Amino acid sequence: MSELNAKRDRLLALIRGYRTCAVAFSGGIDSTVVAKAAQLALGDAAVAVTGTSASLAAGELDEARELAQLIGIRHEVIATEEFANPDYLRNDSDRCYHCKTELYTQIEGMAQRLNVTVVLNGANVDDLGDYRPGMQAAGEHRVASPLAECGFTKADVRALAADWGLPIWDKPATPCLSSRVAYGEAVTPERLAMVDAAEQFLRELGLRTLRVRYHKGDMARLEVPLEALSTLCAAGVRESLVARFKSLGFKYVTIDLEGFRSGSLNALVHIATPTASPQ
């Protein structure tokens, strides 16, 4: 705990030095810890900003509002317009770049009204080694990553969240719904609604860690922990699962025998051709 406490103190000191800040707040574990740190360090000089669109899963906005209220931080909700951008809809491997560019541009446009000078995100050290084009957008908009700067790993973030009594300290990662669509397949609100409803169905079966990936031809590829594979194949469950998914619009339902793994669609990055050049 001494090492974690030292990182916590560096985090609070770093954010205190900003004097004012806006936190890009999804309600996930990383941005929640940053929002809590910002509130502790800056009080009313910090604000959390949540972007909403068709890519936000059901219930996530309500949870973000509840967390902001629990933390005691000012909270703003904005409607982002990434679905008006053809480069985003095309879903090349740089899709996240366009999404984050839209979010950070909107927050920058609110900066004067919110009386903030710095935008913070929830990137941690573990994120820096993954394929994350959204980090390029962060760099272009001078968005700070205080968790990464202070050496926080994902495990550190969860440990600090638990120490602070944040109820989502063990919440599975919940990236946007668009991340479920295979690169090269168009991102549409209709497809995301199919994925969202399918994942809600799996949660009703008692699963917490899961993904429903959308592939060409309206095919669903289910990723769950290896120990849960037998649950999905059990008598009665398999039939009801297939029926539910087909009622949502999926033509094929498959189970990935490798099990759940975050970012598995990045294996397809090499087949996609980014079309937008950074500004």
pLDDT at 225 over 90: yes
> Which H or E element spans position 160?
helix 154-163
- Cβ atoms 31, 6 nearer than 8 A: no
| pLDDT single digits (tens) 188-222 | 999 999 999 999 999 999 999 999 999 999 999 99
- Which residue, among 166, 182, 190, has the nearest Cα to 55 in the 3D structure? 190
- Over residues 59-63, mean pLDDT: 96
Q: Are 34 and 120 in contact (CB under 8 A)?
A: yes
The fold of 2-163 is Rossmann fold (3.40.50)
What ranges do the domains of the chain cover?
A: 2-163, 177-261
Top-ranked range on mean pLDDT: pick from 125-129, 244-248, 265-269 = 244-248
CA dihedral 119, 113, 65, 160 (to 10 degrees): 30
CA 125: distance to chain centroid? 16
Average pLDDT, the chain: 93
The type of residue at 95 is R
Q: What is the pLDDT of residues 6-19, one digit of tens each?
A: 999 999 999 999 99
Coil/strand/helix, residue 261 = coil
Burial class of residue 265 (count of CB atoms within 10 Å of its CB; 0-12, 13-18, 19+): buried
- Phi (first) and psi of residue 167, to 5 degrees: -65, -15
pLDDT value of residue 268: 56
What local confidence, expressed as pLDDT, does residue 60 receive?
96
At 128 the pLDDT is 85
Percent of the chain with pLDDT over 90: 89
Structure tokens at 5: 């406490």
Q: Between β-strands 74-79 and 46-52, what pairing exists: parallel, antiparallel or unpaired?
A: parallel
- Predicted TM-score (pTM) of the model is 0.91
Place of tokens 């985090």: 11
CB 4 within 8 A of CB 31: no
Give the per-residue pLDDT at 130. Answer: 67
CA distance 258 to 116: 45
Whole-angstrom distance, CA of residue 118 vs CA of residue 111: 8
DSSP state of 167: T
CATH ID of 177-261, from 1.10.10, 1.10.287, 3.30.300, 1.20.58: 3.30.300
Examine the pLDDT at 267 and tell me if it is beyond 80: no
Backbone angles phi and psi of 40, in degrees to 5: -65, -40
Mean pLDDT score, 238-256: 97
Q: Please give the pLDDT value at position 274.
A: 39
